[in-house]
Each structure stands twice: as C-alpha cells, then as structure tokens.
Structure 1
C-alpha cells in the first residue's frame, strides 16, 4: 500500500503458494474509479482499515504472545493452512525457525 500511494518501489514482495488470481489497478485508474463511482472509495477505505487493524493485531501478537500462543492462535484462525502450507512458511510467518516450530508441535501433540 505504501508503495502504491507513494509511487515508489516496494521493499518486499508476496509469493503465492497456490494458484492465485491477482487484480491490479494503477493509481491513476483507481483515482478515476473513485471519482466516477464514489462508493468504491468507501469500499476500499474499509478494506484498508481492516488490513490496518489486522496488521496492528499481528504486531501486538509478535511482541506480547509467546511462540506457543502465536502458533495456537494461527491454527485456530487458519485450521486448514497448517496442512496446506510448508512448515518453513508457517514458521516464518510466526517468527520462529522451522526447527523450533517442529519442537513446539511435538510438545503440543504430547500434551
């Protein structure tokens, strides 16, 4: 979003792990769309607000939750992802190494 709004190159990229459809729109075209269809501006504002809240929640979890709490929250929120996504990607998302995630999963399985 920052890159889109400032017309600067992004500092990172997103790599799709599954087949994905991606839609793109230029800043100029989005501004034109907002002018022609004002409800689109509200629609995208709500999407951005929800994304901001999710981002803030993720930062809060990374700073205040234990690794175990982050993992348990992840499998609660995304129960199907754990089986579909390689463990190294789940670990990276949760801010831990794949080895640590493996040990954590083993520990929880033995409870």
Structure 2
C-alpha cells in the first residue's frame, strides 16, 4: 500500500525531497481496519496519530452513564487520534472507531521525534496542522454555545455534506449534542420550509 495520498497532502503545506519522502515511508505504517474496529480505546495510552487514506472514523467519549458523545468524524485526507493522550502519553479520554472499513497511515509516538530530527520541516508541518485543528475546535465550542440545535445541524450539513451521507443519524445527533428524535424533528421542519 502506498503513502502517496499522505505525500500529496503534506506537499500542500511543505515540500519534501524524494529522499525525505523515502525516510517518511520507512517510519510510518499503513494499516487496514474493519468497520467497527477500534484504533484507540478510552483509557489506553494513544501510541499513534493517524492519517485517513480511505474510510471514516469517529472520535467519541463514553461517560459514566454509558452515554456516547461524538466529538469528531474523520474521512479521507483528515487526521484522527487522541492528540492529548498522544502528546502526553497518558490514558486516552477518547475512543477512535472505524465507521467504515478504513485504511490509515500511522505515525507512531516512538518514531515521531526521530522523524522531526531527520526531516525538520515535518515539525513545522505538524505545527500547522495542530494550529488549524485547535482553531477549528475553538470555533466548534463557540458554535455549540451560541447557535441553536437547528443552526448547528445546518452548519454541519453545509460544511460536511459528504460526511452526513456516510454516517448514521444517531451519530450526527450525538455530534450535535441532541437526541436522534430531536434531529428528526429538525429535519422535518427544514423539509417543510423548503
């Protein structure tokens, strides 16, 4: 399996030489996961950060009452993993599970520093990616506080139309912080307005 999709993605931000691409290929792992398989489990230390080549994953937290709270979906050319656990090497707060059969490129915690040493510009690349993820996370928090459930749904539907088509509605509802029944009601209202 090729890491070309990852190289294409990286080259949108920085330029790797052929030698650097070879080094990168030697330090990452390409792995296929089946639908339903976990990439990271809550409570385990996250040893990998993942680039999605194919498929779809969800990142979620299960509270003490057993309620699932979806915080993120990842599709092709997106990243997934419990970043906090990966950086600090402490138990993960989140699960990452495949919603579809997926192909991921894994960056292992014990090789990431070696990669930064051998290809210093990768450190800049990951800084840019993490900054963008942090900014997106902050904007999502503001939307959750300031928008109605209907407006949050409309934002999700417009921003990520390809994701909504690929995931069950109860997961969309969990991501929006509402029940699936309330999401059905919102969708019915929108259909009547159209």
Q: TM-score range by the shorter chain?
A: over 0.9
Q: Name 1:75's counterpart in structure 2.
A: 157
TM-score by length of 2: 0.55
Q: Name 2:140's counterpart in structure 1.
A: 58
CA distance in 2, matches of 1:65, 1:58: 10
Unaligned runs of 5+ in 2: 1-82
Q: Name 1:5's counterpart in structure 2.
A: 87
SS of 1:15's equivalent in the other structure is: strand
CA RMSD in angstroms comes to 1.1
Indicate the structure with greater helix content: 1
Q: Name 1:37's counterpart in structure 2.
A: 119
Can you list the C-alpha shifts for 1:44-96, whole angstroms capped at 9, x where unaligned? Answer: 11111111011111111111111011011011111122222110001001111
Unaligned runs of 5+ in 1: none
SS of 1:102's equivalent in the other structure is: helix
Runs of 4+ residues over 6 Å off in structure 1: none
Q: Which has the higher contact order (CA 8 A, sep 6+)?
A: 2
Matched, 1:86 2:168: yes
Match of 1:26 among 90, 100, 108: 108
TM-score by length of 1: 0.93
Matched residue pairs, number? Answer: 111
CA distance in 1, matches of 2:88, 2:162: 36
